[in-house]
Amino acid sequence: MKRKNSLLMPRPQPEEDFFIGWSKVPSADRRFLLTAVPALAMVSGGLGWAIASQLDDPGAGSWQTSSTHTLTGELLRDPYPMIRSIDAEGNVMTTLLVAMGKCTSSLDIAMQAGGIHTATGVLIERRGRHMLEVPFDVGEWLSPAPADFSVPDVTVETVSEDITLQGMIMDTKCFFGVMRPGRGKTHKACASLCIRGGIPPSFWAKTKEGREVVMLLTDEAGNPVSDQILPLVAEAVEARGKVVRQGDWLHFQVSPKDYRLL
């Protein structure tokens, strides 16, 4: 009987793992997953941290829509609607008034301006700067205050007669907390609509020490500005003007023609 040539006989192949959904995970796949999944999680986490670290701080603003806030004080219309009241420590506190949405120019308080009233609305706040969002109908949020209530007068004090500052023009409503972040070029269209609608503009800058400074923005005579500055909104600008202190607010008085894009 002849012996078969072993060279011609097929060699047995090593057993290979085959995935079956209802069976155990093959050992090769298990080893891969135990190595790849933790590595992928670490890489994804590191990449997320690297991207997040490059983003701007959205700021410390808040929009307290879950409750209403009440203030009693002197109602003012110029340069922008505001109410001047007394805080818990007995200091004068100025709160800007804005209407719901982007149409504060429709907020008519001419008849009540100069009197002592109680205002109720939603509080918007950023680093000690306050704003009250109210309905358009004055009768819904404004009422006469007790006759014996009074607010001390404030004087206008010149801080700097001639100063050049670098910063950014933003609408106060979004910047104070309605939007986060409420500044920068990504917010340009929204800020332009807000300022066009009568929401007070602000000049946001930082000191050499990194401290944030927010000033109410007017023209060189202390009058409100709106359409004149729209091309400059949310852009890095430099301006030369006058800084005055009125109560607890700084005002940056600049002619619209004295801005320069950086």
Beta bridge partners of 212: 206
Residues 166 and 197 in one domain: yes
Tell me whether residue 204 is in a domain: yes
- The 8-class DSSP code of residue 233 comes to B
Q: Specify whether the CB–CB gap between 220 and 253 falls below 8 A.
A: yes
How many structural domains is the chain composed of?
2
Report pLDDT digits (tens) over 65-96: 888 999 999 999 999 999 999 888 888 899 99
- Rg, C-alpha atoms of the chain: 31
User: Rounded distance, CA 91 to CA 151, Å?
Assistant: 10
Residues 6 or more apart in contact with residue 247 via CB below 8 angstroms:
84, 92, 94, 154
User: Rounded distance, CA 198 to CA 46, Å?
Assistant: 44
Tell me whether residue 18 is in a domain: no
Residues 172 and 214 in one domain: yes
Residues 139 and 198 in one domain: no
Tell me whether residue 126 is in a domain: yes
39 three-state secondary structure: helix
- The 8-class DSSP code of residue 104 comes to G
Last residue of a domain, one of 144, 172, 189: 144
Q: Specify whether the CB–CB gap between 98 and 80 falls below 8 A.
A: no
* Cα dist from 131 to 95, 171, 199, 227, whole Å: 5, 12, 11, 22
Q: Specify whether the CB–CB gap between 215 and 239 falls below 8 A.
A: no
Torsion of CA 143, 144, 148, 153, to 10 degrees: 90
Would you state the pLDDT for residue 1? Answer: 52
Helices (H), 64-167: 138-141
Q: Specify whether the CB–CB gap between 122 and 128 falls below 8 A.
A: no
Report pLDDT digits (tens) over 21-50: 677 777 777 788 788 888 888 888 878 776
Last residue of a domain, one of 78, 111, 144: 144
Residues 6 or more apart in contact with residue 154 via CB below 8 angstroms:
84, 92, 246, 247
What pLDDT band is residue 99 in, cutting at 50, 70 and 90?
very high
Residues 79 and 124 in one domain: yes
Give residue 114's domain range.
62-144
135 three-state secondary structure: coil
Amino acid at 56: D
Tell me whether residue 83 is in a domain: yes
Would you state the pLDDT for residue 59? Answer: 60
Average pLDDT value for the chain: 84
| CATH value at residue 115 | 2.40.50
Residues 84 and 106 in one domain: yes
Residues 161 and 138 in one domain: no
Last residue of a domain, one of 96, 112, 144: 144
**Distance from the Cα of residue 7 to its chain's centroid:** 81
Report pLDDT digits (tens) over 157-211: 999 999 999 999 999 998 888 876 666 777 888 889 999 999 999 998 877 777 7
Indicate the pTM of the whole model: 0.75
Report pLDDT digits (tens) over 118-169: 999 999 988 888 999 999 888 889 998 887 888 888 888 999 999 999 999 9
